[in-house]
Amino acid sequence: SGDTSNAVNVDSDKHNIFGNSTDSTNAINVEISADNTAWYNMGIDIFPDSGDGDFQLSLDMPIQYIRLKFGGTATVTASVISS
């Protein structure tokens, strides 16, 4: 709980975050940064599907770096596609 993913330099305007989690009870938070040092919580919570643990979120905003912060203890696999 409270762990973060690796940061990804997306440097783009459109983003699709998707993946799977073994924890469908606790939220996954999206954090962004302009310099890969100071991180800010976007206030967006992702709740994986209670049936299969899949999740997906689309963002339409300029972002330099992005990472995920986990609210629970789980195995999470995630990808981000940006354009």
Among residues of the chain, what percentage have pLDDT more than 90? Answer: 92
Rounded Cα distance, 5 and 17, in Å: 13
* DSSP reduced 3-state for 8: strand
Q: 2 pLDDT band (50/70/90 cuts)?
A: confident
pLDDT tens digits, one per residue of 37-74: 999 999 999 999 999 999 999 999 999 999 999 988 88
3-class secondary structure per residue, 10-70: EEEEEEEEEEEECCCCCCEEEEEECCCCCCEEEEEEECCCCCCCEEEEEEEEEEEEEEEEE
Instruction: Answer whether residue 1 shows pLDDT above 90.
Output: no
Instruction: Answer whether residue 15 shows pLDDT above 90.
Output: yes
pTM (two decimals): 0.91
- Pair of tokens at residue 8: 């990804």
For the chain, give the mean pLDDT.
95
Tally of CB atoms within 10 A around 60: 7
